Each structure stands twice: as C-alpha cells, then as structure tokens.
C-alpha cells in the first residue's frame, strides 16, 4: 500500500510539472513537438514598450523605453531584422508619433497573428509533399520600422508584422503611397509568410543580373500560390493588365544589373507600381512549371536554380514564356 500511494503521488507531481511546462511554452509564444517553431514575443514586447512611450512626454525616457523594453529584448529573428533593415530607437520613436492612427488601428491585428498557426502548418505540409528536400524554417513575427513586410536570414522567416498583417480596414492616410497600395490589397499575413518560406528553400543567393533577381523573387510568389493562394499585390493586378507591354520593356534591360526600375523601388517606381519585376519572375516560373511534364521535378528545378547569368537565361528559354502572347 505504501508503494502504491507513492506511485500515485509521483504521477500526480509529474502531471502537474507537465502542465506547468506546457503553460510556460504557450506563454513564451513558441510551439514545439510536431509543430513548427513560431515566435511572437517581439509583438508583446513592442506593445508593452509602446504603452510606456505614450505615457510620458520626456523624449529621453521614450528612447530609453524603446531601447530597453523592445530592442534589447529582441528575439534572434528581430536581431537579424534590425541589422538588415536599419532599426534604431530613434526611428521607432519617430514612426510611433508620425503615424498615431495607423498604430492604433493595427494593434488588434498583430495580436491575431497567433491564430494563423494552423495555416502556416498547412503550407509546410504542402511544401513537404511536393518538395521532399524541404527544410522547415523558424518563424519570427516582429514589429519593424515600416520598411519591410518580411525577409529571411538563414533558416529564419522574419515578418514585419505591422505591414504584413495590415489590410484595407487599417487607417493608412498618414502613410506614403507605396505602403497604402501594399496594405490596401493585403488579405492575409500568411501570404507573405508563404513567400518568405520559398526564399528559405532556395539556393544561396549570388550576384546576378536583373533577370535572375526577378526570377528569384517571382519564384517565391509562384510557390506561395502553389502552396497557399495567389499573392494579392498591386504588381500582380497591374501586371496581368499590362503583361505584353511590360515584357517588351523588360527584355531590353533584363541582362543588365540595374534593378531600380523593377525591384525594391517603393514610392520611386517609374509608373507608380512598385516591384513589377516580381510579376515578371512569377510569370516565367509559372510558365516553366506549366510546360513541364514532371511537376515535382519542375518545382525542384525552380527552387534549386543556380543564379548564374547563363543558368537564368537557360531557365527563361526552357520556360517558353512569351510575355502573354500566344
């Protein structure tokens, strides 16, 4: 009887420890086991900092709060994002006071990010089914400085949640035209996640020409559509309406290295629609896939493309893309 009571006590203690550990993991914003590693603590830290900043008019205290309550507590993903996108306490503080209506309207949407875990897991499952060499990345949902909706660093998918989860219900009147256009067509943060997952699978980026750079970005839009749903971006809508003219213009410069008229041009896009090179790359990859008999092999070749100038030109030829012309 003594041994039985002891065993029951041990089981009860063990069960309580497991429950406590499970609660701790949930509170930390990390999922383990069969689920992917999804980190959201940067969002929690940002809003805690935000409230403290608004509670004082002392600029030095405000900068101190940004630095100590947010930047100094950065996750591994946010640390990489800070380096890649030029975060600073000053820039964060300036954005907070420059766009007050935007921040007030985006808050609840950033909290809702945690509800998208199942969708992300579904994308990962689709990738694994169609690309056996898929390596599951880690996911970091951060709060950025309004200059990037997402990027990668090694096997990390890093999301600028303030852009990625914004949609047509958010107040954007204080923002520039590029951000207004991007946010207007956003329907789900998961679309951006799907795009960035594609980047984590690609071969290491090397210096290439405009054609290669556009295929690299467009490939991720293509994969996002294949694994999830079409990417809702202004360049997609505009591109489908002007495909032939865009292709004619692109062919004249695609073997050069200048990208400013086609990629990463935000408010400086020549015709007001940023990143049209994404559309061109997407169409080339779509054509390559559709014109291939073995779809899994075609996807593997899209993902593992080497971005040497000769390689991307050969890829274009094999894609049989005609710029929307029959």
d(CA 128, CA 136): 9
Judge contact between 89 and 67, C-beta under 8 A: yes
Average pLDDT over residues 109-131: 95
Q: With cut-offs at 50, 70 and 90, classify the pLDDT of residue 160.
A: very high
Judge contact between 149 and 231, C-beta under 8 A: no
Question: What is residue 34's predicted lDDT score, i.e. its pLDDT?
Answer: 46
Residues linked to residue 157 through DSSP beta bridges, in sequence order: 139, 152
d(CA 58, CA 13): 50
Cα separations (Å) of 58 from 48, 55, 63, 95, 106?
Answer: 17, 9, 9, 16, 25
Average pLDDT over residues 243-263: 97
Q: Structure pTM?
A: 0.84
pLDDT tens for 63-88 read 999 999 999 999 999 999 999 999 99
Question: What is residue 2's predicted lDDT score, i.e. its pLDDT?
Answer: 33
**Ranges of each domain in the chain:** 38-200, 206-319
Tell me the three state secondary structure of residue 148: coil
Query: With 70 as the cut, is the pLDDT of residue 33 above it?
Result: no
Judge contact between 24 and 125, C-beta under 8 A: no
Tell me the three state secondary structure of residue 247: helix
Tokens 């300036």 belong to 94
268: tokens are 């400086």
Question: What is residue 12's predicted lDDT score, i.e. its pLDDT?
Answer: 46
At how many degrees (to 10) do helices 276-290 and 234-241 cross?
70
Question: What is residue 9's predicted lDDT score, i.e. its pLDDT?
Answer: 38
Least confident piece of the model among 95-99, 103-107, 230-234: 230-234
Question: What is residue 236's predicted lDDT score, i.e. its pLDDT?
Answer: 95
pLDDT tens for 275-304 read 999 999 999 999 999 999 999 999 999 999
Burial 266-290 (b: 16+ CB within 10 A, else e): eeebeeebbbbbbbbbbbbbbbbbe
d(CA 39, CA 79): 13
Query: With 80 as the cut, is the pLDDT of residue 11 above it?
Result: no
């Amino acid at each position: 009887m003594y041994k039985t009571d002891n065993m029951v006590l041990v089981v009860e203690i063990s069960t309580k420890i497991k429950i406590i550990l499970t609660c701790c993991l949930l509170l930390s914003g990390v999922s383990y086991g069969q689920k992917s590693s999804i980190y959201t603590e940067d969002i929690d830290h940002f809003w805690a900092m935000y409230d403290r900043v608004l509670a004082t008019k002392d600029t030095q205290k405000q900068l101190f709060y940004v630095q100590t309550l947010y930047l100094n507590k950065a996750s591994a993903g946010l640390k990489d994002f800070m380096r890649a996108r030029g975060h600073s306490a000053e820039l964060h503080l300036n954005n907070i006071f420059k766009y007050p209506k935007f921040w007030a309207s985006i808050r609840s949407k950033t909290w809702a990010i945690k509800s998208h875990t199942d969708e992300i897991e579904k994308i990962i499952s689709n990738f694994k089914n169609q690309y056996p060499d898929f390596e599951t990345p880690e996911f970091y949902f951060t709060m950025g400085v309004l200059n990037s909706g997402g990027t990668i660093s090694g096997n990390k998918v890093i999301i600028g949640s303030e852009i990625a989860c914004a949609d047509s219900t958010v107040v954007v009147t204080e923002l520039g035209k590029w951000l207004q256009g991007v946010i207007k067509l956003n329907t789900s943060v998961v679309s951006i996640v799907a795009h960035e997952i594609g980047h984590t699978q690609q071969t290491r980026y090397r210096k290439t020409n405009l054609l290669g750079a556009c295929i690299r970005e467009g490939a991720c839009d293509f994969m996002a559509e294949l694994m999830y749903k079409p990417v809702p971006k202004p360049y997609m809508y505009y591109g489908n309406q002007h495909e032939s003219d865009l292709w004619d213009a692109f062919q004249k410069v695609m073997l050069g290295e200048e990208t400013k008229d086609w990629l990463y041009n935000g408010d400086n896009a020549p015709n007001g629609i940023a990143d049209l090179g994404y559309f061109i790359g997407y169409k080339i990859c779509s054509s390559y896939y559709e014109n291939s008999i073995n779809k899994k092999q075609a996807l593997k070749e899209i993902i593992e493309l080497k971005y040497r100038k000769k390689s991307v030109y050969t890829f274009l030829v094999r894609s049989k893309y005609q710029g929307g012309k029959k």
